[in-house]
Structure 1
Amino acid sequence: MTAARSTPAPALAVVGATGAVGSVLLRMVSERADVWGDIRLIASGRSAGRMLSVRGQECEVLALTEDAFDGLGPGDVALFLTPAEISARWAPVVTARGAVVVDQSAAFRDDPEVPLVVPEINAHAARIRPRGIVAAPDTVTAAMVASLGALHAEYGLTELAVSTYQAASAAGRAGSEALRRQLSLVAGTSLGEQPGDVRRAVGEDTGPFAAPLALNVVPWCGELDEDGWSSHELAVRAQTRRILQLETLPVSVTCVRVPVLTGDSLTVRAGFENEVKAAHAREILEAAPGVVLVDDPAAGEFPTPVDAAGTDPAWVGRVRASLDDPYALEFFVCADNLRKGAALNATQIAELIAGEFA
């Protein structure tokens, strides 16, 4: 018999409940173990009053105001699935009430007093939160780091080179909608065969992307930063270093947007202190939490975004030793950016915090 909870179940507030990640998270909360008491849904004023289903019950969406957080206190958790400026403004309002914030945005990822957590790798870090906030990494870092952490524990990671192939939905609903619009404009045509075809068809409607995404790949995510690097490339570098506690790890990242609706992918080349055997690396990855190994190219089995969409794990395959360096390993990763990359990671962190007060 399970012992009765000695205190009331913690409340969960979901800020940004009507967004792309919020929709996935609410389904996930309904699928997972019930550790929550009151669940309140919060979004912008234009979404206030909408009714959303959570655990079979209809919940009204509240407008994002101070009143929306009334009653939250120690032991309760607020998940922020909002842009960084919203999180930065409202997270302190929640922590002032004694509740813990789990933030999915970039607002606090670089703050040394805010742990950056991927539960499969550093769940313990979520317990030490001087500001009452726990940050989650971006979607591609979350997808990659579970496999990297397992390999680092065995071999000792010394360098990393990554290319990302990021889905349109990583830019939120606006990204998905922009790709759908663009695809409708070019469907059934020979566009893409001649220079300028796609640009002329799409016109100025590139959505949140730096260039048309339909029938195209765009080697740019984020804002221009130092020496030609994008802000997102530097963020993946910094987050990987923080989570793995390798503050001087050489990391090179190229971020590319691809015409896929759901599912981020990465090619990874990792260098290690110790010699790597591909067969042993596969065994490590097969046993790693949050990872599914799909690696039989002869049978046509390797990860793709289509396979990863709607699933929780990071799918890893194409595992092979470097041709020119016995201390390096190369592999391919896919994960559902809305689920594994964002909603699941945030939910797992929230559940860890709820467990502290059980």
Structure 2
Amino acid sequence: MTARRILITGATGGLGHALVQEAMGRGAVVRATGRQTGVGAGLSALGAQFVRCDLTAPDADLAALLSGCDSVIHAAALSASWGREADFIAANITATRRLLDAARVARVTRFVFVSSPSIFAQLADQVQIGEYHPPAARPLNAYARTKLAAERMVLAACDERMATCAIRPRALVGQGDRVILPRLAQLASRNRMPLPRGGAALIELTDLRDAAWAICEAEARTPALGGRALNISGGKPIAVRDLALRLAAALGKSPRLVPVPLLLARQLAHVAQTVASITGAQQEPVLTRYTLATLAYSQTFDLAPAQRRLGYQPQHDAVETLLGEARRMASVGGAA
């Protein structure tokens, strides 16, 4: 059987790197693209064909990038909780549309979109979110809005010529994570750590390796998944307070946990975000509605659809993965 040729975008990020390793482990021929040439050299050393490309550039040669590929795993995105709306539109919607159109012209037959559970984020507890759970009526930030728009565009493009699907991995942690651990480490390094609702909200983390397995398995099964989106997590909910305490200990820190009344937290988030939006602040406010939704409200997932459609079963304890990375960070002084 001829090996499948897969284009993986966003390959120089933590998830992208894990995707390249997983896809190659399955015998695929991988063309990896991203903007970091240093990481790209490492991917080349693994045996991938690395092509540096900025998908947001109007002159990006997508035809050459896609030439000879059977499938696309589109993991590139602007993933941040604050920033200019135009930047999110360019990276998450426009680039996805152009790649989707180019993939059809190149006769790619499978297109897997890496979406995000941020589309569900709202100021309310949501436990065991299922396959048909509707996204938030009003997404809480530009990232969630643009990821939802891009996901809908990709799923709507599914037809007999090119099957599409989407995977939404939750809170990715592991080697190469430049989002979750750095933000949590920054909070844990303060003398006081404010916790809305006392940190009772439940959160689920996902090991990068489990997410990569699920996404590559989705690529293998895209024709059967056609037009569907699946939620992925590590499947082990943990209270924000417990996670904060364990992370602080792993970092060698001992912040004082300060419970914050929910009403006060909501008011502070509203004021801080409003002021930042009016003034055009480039730096994210200390508290936003999206951050509050993450810290104060539970969000867990029903993994039965992923188990049924992909055979998905997490193989790694994501909390232990996070703590291991935190200990490594502390050992080299990264959490000072």
Q: TM-score, normalization: structure 2?
A: 0.42
Higher helix fraction (1 or 2): 2
| Larger CA Rg, structure 1 vs 2 | 1
TM-score, normalised by the number of residues in structure 1 = 0.40
